[in-house]
Amino acid sequence: MKSYLAAAIQMTSLPDLEKNLVEAEELIELAVRRGAELVSLPENFSFLGTEKDKITQAEAIAQQSEKFLTTMAQRFQVTILGGGFPVPVNSTRVYNTALLIDPSGNELARYQKVHLFDVNVPDGNTYRESTTVMSGTQLPPVYPSEQLGNLGLSVCYDVRFPELYRHLSYKGADILFVPAAFTAYTGKDHWQVLLQARAIENTCYVIAPAQTGRHYAMRHTHGHAMIIDPWGLILDDAGDTPGVAIAEINPARLQQVRRQMPSLEHRVFV
């Protein structure tokens, strides 16, 4: 593993596949111009609309999202995480899928989101992700990269389930991806502290691309895509507008923190 720059992209995705992919490409290019070798896109990067529209367009969204990720990785010669897009299971259900692609366009890892967001948020919004999304049945993977470190996958609501990240750290993760479309109401109180907790307790870098702003109707997300170091320090925060958080992933810093706070070695229950 070497030192390198990673990017967490922040978008305001809409119910418009083509427009979203144009915006995503512009932000990927911006990140690459700034030196990023690892680029991550948020949950719902290619489409953020009603559940009905998502299901109606799911096949096209899945096909174009995968093609887009492959094309971008090859064009810009970077490793890219597509943080979440629908992949059809049948005519009424999809998997919320995160996909990691290398600079040659090869699939490195795929994760189907396990924890689904079925919540009555106190701001009056109700979310029932399980009405259209099928829960994944496999723990998320850790992809071992000699150049970039061991990359652990997750998606959004997973961040509230620390046992999932314990699994990733047990499997040797150095970096934890948390691509999200966090609600504005919960995000203001919980987003940053949950990300910092996952970084601190697992002594890992956290890379969290995010959605921000208003997408359709009442759907409003928190923003603040960020990169956090293994001590819990926020290295960069994209704020509440579309853009890029970018920071150095440094193996020497990772080892320093793990020497200073060797909590992973002190685990009693594994």
User: What residue spans define the domains of the chain?
Assistant: 4-266
Q: Pick the catalytic residue: 37, 43, 54, 66?
A: 43
The pLDDT of residue 226 is 98
Q: Pick the catalytic residue: 54, 66, 113, 204?
A: 113
26-82 confidence digits (pLDDT tens): 999 999 999 999 999 999 999 999 889 999 999 999 999 999 999 999 999 999 999
Q: Pick the catalytic residue: 23, 37, 66, 156?
A: 156
pTM over 0.85: yes
43 is catalytic: yes
State how far the Cα of 116 lies from the Cα of 153, in Å rounded to an integer: 15
146 is catalytic: no
User: 4-266, what's its fold?
Assistant: Nitrilase/N-carbamoyl-D-aminoacid amidohydrolase (3.60.110)
Rounded to the nearest integer, the mean pLDDT of the chain is: 96
* Mean pLDDT in residue range 251-262: 96
54 is catalytic: no
